[in-house]
A and B are shown apart, each in its own frame.
Chain A
Amino acid sequence: MSELKYRFRQAKNYVMFSITFLCTLLTVGVLFFILGYMVWHGASSLNWDFFTKLPKPVGEPGGGMANAIVGTGKLLLIAALIGVPVGFLGGVYLSEFGRNNRIGFLVRYATDILNGIPSIVMGIFAYTVVVLPMRRFSAVAGGIALGIMMIPIALRSTEEFLKLVPNSLREASLALGIPQWKTIIRVVIPTGFRGILTGIMLDLSRVAGETAPLLFTAFSNRFWSAGWLQPTASLPVMIYTYSIAPYEDWHRQAWAAGLVLLMLILFVNVVSRLVLRRRLAMGV
């Protein structure tokens, strides 16, 4: 009898794990499908022009998205300048000073709420607070909207990776007479640095694909946008604009833009992985 029961349990074991294997196959399959679809539709539009020329008006084939690529770069730079310091320093507070107190709890809760605000509401907020007073659309407004969206994840990853640093390291440093602030800056943060960097890079790549907050802040631009106070084109907005137009050539360019964006994000991911792997190998 117990032999039968054991066989049954073994069968169940096999079945359940097969199910998980199938789940994995399904998920990875979906990913490859999405990638393949984009390549199939957009690869033909990826040429040198795409990366160097400005968009052409409707009906004229060719043209490119050079200004959108640069525009996305500008927006991400501003977003990083806002999101990273705030998230990073807030995370340092939560990990080093605020692990168990009321302020820490409130800040964590507020961060979770901030994370859950839809991107469009963030865009409306930036519109009200930046665009209206300035009476213009600008890259700065778009960057601010994206930067605020970056804060929660930057904060969370900083906090988590700093918490992973063992207390023994802090205690050793303090035992040597190094003040706490120096301990944090010279010992704790460098130890957790690679993980924090990964988190921030992932944060950046997620924000790079956001469209809704840019529609009422950075607007868009058919031309090169000079400086920071002018509307600027960006890859997600171009994808959106081109995909809802009735021109086949523009559809292909939209898919190509999606590919470029995805390749950019892939690149960021790969780099951050490589960075993290070396840190793990060093055994810290």
Chain B
Amino acid sequence: MRLAPSLGGPFREANWGDRALHILTLGFALSIFALTALIALALYRNSILSIEKFGLRFLWGTTWDPVFEQFGALPFLFGTLVSSGIALLIAFPLGLGVAIFLSELAPRWLSDPIAFLIELLAAVPSVVYGLIGIFVLVPWVRDDLTPVLKKTLGFLPIFSGPSYGVGMLTAGILLAVMVVPFITSLSREVLMAVPASQREAALALGATRWETTRMAVVPYARSGVMGSMFLALARALGETMAVTMVIGNRPEIAASLFAPGYSMAAVIANEFTEATYDLYLHALVEIGLVLFAVTIVVNALARLLILAVARKSAEVQV
């Protein structure tokens, strides 16, 4: 967006003031890029022993044994992805539902305070979430939810086996509560930004309010809604404290959602201060590196998806 007069090319603004501001802000912007690269480098350098010893086997190794110096990241990768997946599976429809209610149905005097309250959920510290998870969610899952699920869907392998209260499902539910505010507030903003003409056109054609929402409003806001989902996913992938309190902390891969699991951020938090020798420490940092890589991949997928959708809807939109 080149509105100001320039002499062509970068940093060729017509006056020194423009140039100065450009360079200043560019410097800070690039510092962020440099910072991220620096963090990646620090992670790499502090995990080098583990990388050299295990190589790529680290990614699919299933043993985590500090005594016999065998380290593998697969159970943690599995746990992180599954618990985040469950979280999003619950939070996305729930959050979108709330966003739709707040943007389409609720009058402004109701919608604003409720949106504010839901944003407050994002501000609750994760330690508090963990504690409430232990004292409230874990017994509820074990005593109330499990029997219901077993009675109705018990034949499915994901609901098989004993349920201790702590486990993958509990972690997923807790994470869902923690990320719903992100999905709701962002989606609500985007839905409210959809021009009235879209709604009016659909209604004029005889659609009901719901059909209007489903066919005209939400698709228009699709990229923003999906963006909120990826923001929520990023939060879920990196959540540490709350997850370690309710996931059971068992580095195992199991089919059942009631089984205990472990996540990458949780194992780092649990064992970092106690890692008594260098290889152990490096293995833990390498888990951090793997998490970093997962974040990069997820973000790349997100951007590609949004780009593809934007292109498609650009073709369709008038």
A205 to B13, CA, bound (A): 39
Asked if A182 is at the interface (CB within 8 A of a chain B CB), the reply is yes
Partner of B21, one of A23, A27, A181: A181
B-chain residues with CB within 8 Å of residue A75 when the two chains form the complex: none
Asked if A239 is at the interface (CB within 8 A of a chain B CB), the reply is yes
Say what secondary structure dominates the interface of chain A: helix
A155 to B33, CA, bound (A): 12
B-chain residues with CB within 8 Å of residue A13 when the two chains form the complex: 208-211
CB distance from A25 to the nearest CB of B (A): 9
Scan residues 1-50 of chain B and give those whose CB is less than 8 A from a CB of chain A: 1, 3-4, 13-15, 17-18, 20-22, 24-26, 28-33, 35-37, 39, 42-43, 46
- Given A124-B285, A167-B3, does the pair A93, B299 have CB atoms closer than 8 Å? no
Nearest A residue (CB) for B28: A89
- Interface bits A4-17 vs B (CB < 8 Å: 1, else 0): 00000110110011
Scan residues 169-197 of chain A and give those whose CB is less than 8 A from a CB of chain B: 170-171, 174, 179-185
Whether A117 and B292, one on each chain, are in contact in the complex, defined by CB atoms closer than 8 angstroms, is yes
Stretch at the interface among A61-69, A134-142, A222-230, A257-265: A257-265
A273 to B123, CA, bound (A): 15
Asked if A220 is at the interface (CB within 8 A of a chain B CB), the reply is no
A-chain residues with CB within 8 Å of residue B299 when the two chains form the complex: 109, 112-113, 116
Whether B33 and A115, one on each chain, are in contact in the complex, defined by CB atoms closer than 8 angstroms, is no
Whether A174 and B238, one on each chain, are in contact in the complex, defined by CB atoms closer than 8 angstroms, is no
CB distance from B210 to the nearest CB of A (A): 4
Partner of B272, one of A124, A181, A206, A262: A124
Say what secondary structure dominates the interface of chain B: helix
Nearest B residue (CB) for A129: B42
Size of interface on A: residues with Cβ below 8 Å to B: 90
Whether A179 and B4, one on each chain, are in contact in the complex, defined by CB atoms closer than 8 angstroms, is yes
- Interface bits B232-259 vs A (CB < 8 Å: 1, else 0): 0010011111000000000000000000
Whether B29 and A94, one on each chain, are in contact in the complex, defined by CB atoms closer than 8 angstroms, is yes
Whether B241 and A90, one on each chain, are in contact in the complex, defined by CB atoms closer than 8 angstroms, is no
Whether A180 and B298, one on each chain, are in contact in the complex, defined by CB atoms closer than 8 angstroms, is no
Whether A118 and B240, one on each chain, are in contact in the complex, defined by CB atoms closer than 8 angstroms, is yes
Nearest A residue (CB) for B266: A120
Q: Measuring CB to CB, which residues of chain B are less than 8 angstroms from any residue of chain A?
A: 1, 3-4, 13-15, 17-18, 20-22, 24-26, 28-33, 35-37, 39, 42-43, 46, 93-95, 97-98, 100-102, 104-106, 114, 116-129, 131-132, 136, 177, 180, 184, 208-211, 214, 231, 234, 237-241, 264-265, 268-269, 272-273, 285, 288, 291-292, 295-296, 298-299, 303
